[in-house]
Amino acid sequence: MLPKDKINGLVQRFEEIDHRLSQPIDRETVVKLGRERAELAPVYDAIQGLQKAEAERDGLTALLADPEMAALAESESEELETRIDQLTEAVRLALIPKDAADEKSAILEIRAGTGGNEAALFAGDLFRMYSRYADLHGWRVNILSESEGEAGGYKELIADVTGRGVFARLKFESGVHRVQRVPLTEASGRIHTSAATVAVLPEAEDVDIDIRPEDIRLDTTRASSAGGQHANTTDSGVRILHIPTGMIVVATSRSQHQNREKAMQMLRSRLYDLERQKADSARAAERKGQIGSGDRSERIRTYNFPQGRVTDHRINLTLYKLEPVLAGDALDEVINALVTDHQATLLAQEGL
């Protein structure tokens, strides 16, 4: 059963906003109410669709009592009941409290873990997977900072993934990713286990995090490059220390101006993520182990090459689609399952 009081309250609030927006009000209030209306609109539309279908059912109930119309009404009734069930589920999902960061772009951080060169190569594989996945969704990927591995791949890579709803999808990727395969450099053909860590942070805007000039210390560093006449000739790298938290971010390329912007972008996002984690902890300590809580200490997924399988340990999902997943083409199958599980958890918490 859907919570009628909550539904009626949402409908009343939405219609109240529409009424106020039709009246002369100041610009600031218009912006505030417009934002709230946009958040409530999907819920309101789902409720309206369900109420319309329920009204149709009431009309069919009357027709069932008419001998001449009963057969037709009964046929339409079965189809309508299926549609009502679907609309009811849509309303339940729409009533789930939304993560304010879901519509944001994201900062993607990938770091090689245990496994030496093989871990760095795997970190490169993960970045290619996410880059391809971003292309499929029409997102843009921009590398902010990178440190290449000796045999290829990356020791560390930080990228900005820009687009609508990026964080809502990629936030489930935070954690330790493990790979089991025979390295190209392994002559004996033994299977090695390596790991890389992935962190996905909602991209913060200036309005999300206020960083005071006196709270940061900015230093220039010697930028890294592949060599040539420009190598190690300018101090264009930027290192920023956030004094209150001790957080340090570094951006290295040939443009000091761009590096400062990139470093501040990374710092804002990390501080925003820190605030989100504090808020989550304050709301409910038991949410620490929940998907999307920010706890990245545990292994979340294994990519097993000999068996051609991918296993997500949080939901005990195994797909024998290793290559399509690493190519980004089948990653949605994993993420969709995680989203569904996450929604089920929230529905239970909300008593829906």
Q: What is the pLDDT of residues 322-337, one digit of tens each?
A: 999 999 999 999 999 9
The percentage of the chain sitting over the pLDDT mark of 70, rounded to a whole number, equals: 84
The pLDDT score that the predictor gives to residue 285 is 44
Tokens for 97, please give them.
């409290």
Residue with the larger pLDDT of the pair 34 and 254? 34
Residue 236, helix vs strand vs coil: coil
Which residue, chain included where needed, has tokens 């871990």?
Answer: 119
Q: What is the pLDDT of residue 210?
A: 72
Q: pLDDT tens digit string along 47-98?
A: 898 888 888 888 777 776 667 677 777 777 778 888 888 888 888 877 877 7
The per-residue pLDDT for 219 is 81
Question: Can you list the alpha helix ranges (DSSP code H) found in the chain?
Answer: 4-21, 27-64, 70-94, 117-136, 166-170, 256-283, 322-326, 331-350
Mean predicted confidence (pLDDT) in 228-232: 42
Residue 246 has pLDDT above 60, yes or no: yes
Query: What pLDDT does 338 receive?
Result: 93
**Cβ atoms within 10 Å of 197's Cβ, excluding its own:** 21
DSSP calls for 39-97: HHHHHHHHHHHHHHHHHHHHHHHHHHTSTTTHHHHHHHHHHHHHHHHHHHHHHHHHTSP
Q: Is the pTM of this model over 0.85?
A: no
pLDDT at 229 over 70: no
Q: What pLDDT was estimated at residue 4?
A: 83
Q: What is the pLDDT of residue 282?
A: 55
Q: What is the mean pLDDT of the chain?
A: 82
pLDDT exceeds 70 at position 113:
yes
| Per-residue pLDDT reduced to its tens digit, 263-297 | 888 888 888 788 777 766 654 443 333 333 333 34
pLDDT digits (tens, 9 = 90+) for 188-214: 778 889 999 999 988 876 556 777 888
Distance CA 182, CA 269 (A): 37
Specify which of 36-50, 233-247, 298-312 reaches the highest per-range mean pLDDT: 298-312
**pLDDT score recorded for residue 54:** 86
Average pLDDT over residues 10-33: 89
Cβ-based neighbours of 312, under 8 Å, separated by 6 or more? 300, 301, 318, 334, 337, 338
> For helices 4-21 and 27-64, what crossing angle results, to 10°?
130
At which residue do the structure tokens 């009734």 appear?
77
Contact 311, 317 (CB under 8 A): yes
